[in-house]
Amino acid sequence: MKDLRNMSKQQIINFVEALGEKPFRGKQVYEWVIKGVSQFEEMANLPNALRQKLSEVAILDNYKIIQQLKAKDGTIKVLGALKDGNLVESVFMTYKHGHSACISTQVGCKMKCSFCASTLNGIVRSLTAGEYLGQVYALQKLTGHRIDNVVLMGSGEPLDNYEESVRFIKMVTDEDGLNLSGRSITLSTCGLVPEIYKLADEKFAITLAISLHNPFQEERMEIMPISKRYPIKELLKAVEYYAEKTGRRVTFEYALIAGVNDTELHAEQLGSLLRGKLVHVNLIPVNAVEEKAFKPSQNDQINRFKTILLDKYRINTTVRRELGSDINAACGQLRNSHLKSE
């Protein structure tokens, strides 16, 4: 069975032609696919015979929401089932600049970052670009809002699924598709250096976000094993290359963990590493995870950290507004709870 959401416009046209139909029928099918329909019966301008034929050889609904939690601030966390029964999470968030979807790129994750719930059960498999899109369509249908921004920051490492992540970016920015601006897409990585170089050469207009979380190499290796393979010095060289190639400012995500990485010494080291670079630092109070011992830093400590970066090192720094804190909206938490209940 072909997943129509995983196909380009031309691929769908070719597929429908191979069924004995005219090219314009393929264009009609594609138009319905990008509207996010989940049943062939919804394709109102297609003959019944073609709808029946498509239902026998293709699928549409590759991501079905099975559970949802809504926060007081309007954030919606959903758990969705893929066609093979695997579960992934997606989050709908509303900001001043529009509606955002944070989507998963893998079922689970193998990066083993010690503060993240996504890694608890390891990795099962990577998603297809069509399954990325399935999450976006599902959130649009659920909320009735067009998704304006997409963040590849859910469960999984997008650059560990490089080809599908790149294919998704091309599909979602296609003017014949959802037609999102590259600037409205953020890709978050824990720091796969070779893939950062490759992504830079794609020359997308997207935002690259680096999950740093500690500016000291030895300490970062303890909480982020990927740093053993790609040390901070190598990561920063790749980031500089990315900024030069794309002209885009790079975001550094820094999860503040009480007593672990939130001291003034850490702020000073981070500032000295990033001073003068085309970067932005996003400070994030770490999400408390039941299976982990880490706790978020207190507000006064967060503000001290921010002040050092802003005032002393002149680095653009913000503190991420916490959304969905009352529904455990962090990556992996809902899926893990569901798996434990089973």
Whole-number mean pLDDT of the chain? 92
Residues in the chain: 342
Q: Looking at residue 294, what is its pLDDT?
A: 79
In 3D space, the residue among 43, 100, 106, 38 whose CA is nearest the CA of residue 73 turns out to be 100
Over residues 117-141, the mean pLDDT reads 92
DSSP state of 308: I
* Residue 108 phi, psi dihedral angles, 5° rounding: 80, -165
Of 65 and 294, the structure prediction assigns the larger pLDDT to 65
Q: Looking at residue 75, what is its pLDDT?
A: 94
Of 323 and 38, the structure prediction assigns the larger pLDDT to 38
Residue 288 has pLDDT above 70, yes or no: no
Cα–Cα distance for residue pair 253/16, rounded to 1 Å: 44
Q: Looking at residue 333, what is its pLDDT?
A: 57
**Pairing mode of beta strands 76-82, 106-108:** unpaired
Residue 284 forms beta bridges with which residues?
A: 255
In 3D space, the residue among 158, 8, 139, 130 whose CA is nearest the CA of residue 59 turns out to be 130
Q: Looking at residue 122, what is its pLDDT?
A: 87
Q: Is 2 helix (H, G, I), strand (E, B) or coil?
A: strand
Residue 38 has pLDDT above 70, yes or no: yes
How many C-beta atoms lie closer than 10 Å to residue 160's C-beta?
19
Percent of the chain with pLDDT over 70: 92
Q: Looking at residue 332, what is its pLDDT?
A: 53
Contact 122, 112 (CB under 8 A): no
- Residue 258, both tokens: 């009480």
Of 145 and 117, the structure prediction assigns the larger pLDDT to 145
Q: Looking at residue 121, what is its pLDDT?
A: 76
331 is catalytic: yes
Percent of the chain with pLDDT over 90: 84
Residue 108 forms beta bridges with which residues?
A: 123
User: What residue ranges do the domains of the chain occupy?
Assistant: 2-59, 63-341
Class of domain 2-59: mainly alpha
Catalytic choice (89, 131, 157, 195): 89
DSSP state of 297: P
Q: Looking at residue 308, what is its pLDDT?
A: 97
- Residue 28, both tokens: 């009609």
Contact 101, 139 (CB under 8 A): yes
Continuous segment of H or E residues that includes residue 190: none
Residue 91 forms beta bridges with which residues?
A: 77, 102
Which numeric CATH code is attached to 63-341? 3.20.20.70
Residue 291 has pLDDT above 60, yes or no: no
Burial class (CB in 10 A: 0-12, 13-18, 19+), 221: middle
Q: pLDDT tens, 68-127?
A: 999 988 999 999 999 999 999 999 999 888 999 999 999 999 998 888 877 777 899 999
Contact 234, 221 (CB under 8 A): no
DSSP state of 214: -
Over residues 212-219, the mean pLDDT reads 97
Cα–Cα distance for residue pair 132/5, rounded to 1 Å: 9
Catalytic choice (195, 240, 331, 342): 331
42 is catalytic: no
